[in-house]
Amino acid sequence: MAKLAGKTALVIGAGSADEGWGNGKACAVQFAREGARVVCVDLDLALAEDTAQMIRSEGGEAIALAGNAAQAEDMHAVIEQTVAHFGGIDTLLNNVGIVVAGGVVDLPEEQWDRVFDINLKSAFLTMKYAIPHMIAGGGGSIINISSISGIRYLGKNYVAYYSSKAAMNHMTTVTAAEYASQQVRVNAILPGLMDTPMARTSAKNNWGASQEQLDDVWKKRVERVPMGWLGDAFDIAKAAVFFASDDSRFVTGQHLVVDGGTTLGV
Q: Which residues are catalytic?
A: 161
102 belongs to the binding site for ligand NAD (CB under 6 A) = no
260 belongs to the binding site for ligand NAD (CB under 6 A) = no
50 belongs to the binding site for ligand NAD (CB under 6 A) = no
Q: Report the residue from 8, 24, 171, 188 that binds ligand NAD according to the rule CB under 6 A.
A: 24
CB 148 within 8 A of CB 154: yes
Q: Spell out a b/e string for 171-186, using b for 16 or more CB atoms within 10 Å of the CB, else e.
A: bbbebbeebeeeebbb
89 belongs to the binding site for ligand NAD (CB under 6 A) = no
At position 207, the amino acid (one-letter code) is: W
Cβ-in-10-Å burial (0-12, 13-18, 19+) of 39 comes to buried
Name residue 158's beta-bridge partners. Answer: 102
223 belongs to the binding site for ligand NAD (CB under 6 A) = no
125 versus 184: smaller Cβ distance to ligand NAD: 125
CB 82 within 8 A of CB 126: no
Three-state DSSP state, 64: strand
CB 84 within 8 A of CB 135: no
Among 2-10, 16-24, 57-65, 220-228, the segment contacting ligand NAD (CB under 6 A): 16-24
Which of 178, 187, 183 has the alpha carbon at shortest distance from 145? 187
CB of 89 to ligand NAD, least distance (A): 17
Per-residue mark of binding to ligand NAD, 191-220 (x: CB under 6 A): x--x-xxxx---------------------
118 belongs to the binding site for ligand NAD (CB under 6 A) = yes
23 belongs to the binding site for ligand NAD (CB under 6 A) = yes
| Site of interaction with ligand NAD (CB under 6 A) | 13, 15-17, 22-24, 42-44, 47, 68-70, 95-97, 118, 145, 147, 191, 194, 196-199
